[in-house]
Structure 1
Amino acid sequence: MTDGYYGSRAIPIEDPSELAAVQHIRDRLALVPQIAERWNRIARGNAGPRSELAFDDAVTHWTRVSSHVVHNLHHAVDCLRALSVLIPPEGELTIPYVAHFPVARSGLEAASTALWILHPDDPRQRIERHLRNLWREVSEEASFAGASERLAPEELLHLVDRQRKGQKAWKRKYVDQIRAVAARTGVADPTLGRYAIGFAEITREATVATGLPGGYGEMVWRMISGLSHPSMLRTVRFMARTELADREDGMLNMQITNDMQTLQYTVDALVLQLTTALDVLARRKLKIGIPLG
C-alpha cells in the first residue's frame, strides 16, 4: 500500500445507491433536535407515585433504577447530537473517515442499556437487569482502581495506599447494596457469579424490544466496535475499497473510503434503540406498578 499513497483526501460520492444512503442518513440525523426535545420533556416529568418506575426506585433505594437509566439516556442523546455535528443533516457534507464510529458505538451502548433495563414487563426482571449492569460498573471501577495501584509511579504510592482503603469501602458499600436488593426482591445475586453482563448481550436483547431480531443490533455493535479501533482487517471488510494497483510482489494498492450502507445501519440502530427507550421510559413513569420487597 505504498505506491500512489496520498494520505487523507476527500473522495466524491457518485454511486446512486450510496447517494441514496447518504440522504437516508441525513434524514435520520435531521430528527436529532426533535429527539433531544422529546428526551427533555420525558426527563422533566416526574414518575407517578404508584408507577412502575417509582416502585422500581423504592426497592433499589440510593442505587435507583431511574438514576442509571437517566444517565444512560443523557449519554446516548449527547452522542447522537455529536454525531449530527460530524455528519450534519443540511449544507455541505464531508463524512469523516472513522471518527463517527466511536461516537455512534458509545451512544448505541448507552441507549441499549437503558432500553434493556426498562423493557421487561416483569418488575423482578427489570431489577435483576439493573443489578447485573450495576455490578458490571462496580467491577470495572474496581478493576480500574487495581490497575492504578499497579501502574502508579513510586512518588505517588503514598496516595494510592491511602485511596486503597477508601476504594475497598466503596466497593463493599455497593456489594452490600446489590446483595440486599437481590435478597429483598428474590432475584439472582450477580456478585456471586464470575460474569455480570456485556454490551454484546445488552445490545442483542435490547434490539428485541424494538421488534427486530436481536442479532441485528449485536451485529451492528460488533461491526462498529472494530471500526472504532485501529483494526486494518475490520476496515478492509466493512469499508468501501477501490483497488488501484496489484503489484508483482503481491502488494495491493487500494483506496479505502466509507461504506454508506455500514454507516446507514449504524445510524438506524442508534436512533431506533434511543427512541424506543424513550417510549418505554415514558410508559414506566405512567403505568401503575406492583410494589416489590
Structure 2
Amino acid sequence: MKLVSIKSLANAHGDGVWAVAWAAATGDRPAVLLTGSADESVKVWKGDELDLERTNSGNSLGVVAVAASPDGRVAACTSLDSVVRIFDVDSNSTLATLESKPAEAWQMQFHPKGELLAVAGGGSGCVNIWKASSGSRETSLKAESVDKVGGGKFVLSVAWSPDGKLLACSSMDGTIAVFDVARGKMLHTLDGHSMPVRCLAFSPVEPRYLFTACDDKHVHMYDAEGRSLVSAMSGHASWVLSVAGSPDGAALASASSDRTVRLWDLKTRSCVQSLTEHKDQVWGVAFRPGRLATVADDRSICLYDYA
C-alpha cells in the first residue's frame, strides 16, 4: 500500500481548512470533494482535478465538520454558531437548518442508510440524531459517566458502524461511549485515552473495529463489541486530529497537528508512510476508492492516489 501525491491546491480557502469529506458519485456526476473552513464557507470540488464547482456560504462562523450521505446527493455541515445545515450537494440549496443551541455541534456522520444524521453535542453531553429529510430531531443519546468522578461529558465526535447497529461517541475526557441506537441504550465505554478524542472511524469492512484520534498523540484500535483495546499506534509528535479507514480495510490514515499525515498498515499495525506536504496542522483526512484527501490550517488541500 502506498500514497502518491497527484495534486496540491494552495489557498483553497481564505482561512484554515478544518473539515473534509467525499460525496460519492451519482448517476449524473463523479465523486466530489467537500471542504469546510474557518472562513465560514463550504466548497465543492471536482474530485480529481480540484477545480472549484461551487461555494456554499450560508454559515455565520467557522465550519468545523462536513459529511455526505451514502448516496452522495445530500451533505451537512456544522459550524461554531451551533447550527447544522443540510444541503443538496449539486444545487447548494439548503434542505434543513438544525438549531442545536445552547449546546454546540461538532463532528457528525450520516447513518449507512442515509436517513439519519448523528451530531456530537459538545457540552450537552449528548449525541443528537436528526432525520435528514425533515430536519426533525429523532432522539438524543446521553454519554453517561461510568466509573468516573466529575461532571458531564463534552462530546466531540461520532461514528456509525458500517452495519448501522452501533453508534460511538468520544469525549474530552478520553472515553468513548458505544450505543445500541435501536434500543436507545449505552452499552459500554472504551477506555485507554486520558485526553480529548477528536475523531472516530469504524473500519469500512469490519464493523466491530473502531479507530480513534487523540490529543495524547496515539491512534487506538478497539474492538467496539468486545470492549477491548486491540492496538495503540504511536508515532505522531503532537495531537492526532483525524482518522479515516481505507475502503479496502487494509489501511488507516491519521492527521496531526505535527503537520504530517501517516498511513498505517492494519495487518501489522505499523506506520508505512509519513506525508509532509502540509505546512501547518492537518485537520482532516478522507478516503474514497483510490484516493485520499487531506486538509490543513495552511489553507491547502492535498490529493493522493492510494494503491
Band the TM-score falls in, shorter-chain normalisation: under 0.3
Relative contact order: is structure 1 or structure 2 higher (C-alpha 8 Å, sep ≥ 6)?
A: 1
More strand by share: 2
Taking structure 2 as the reference length, the TM-score comes to 0.24
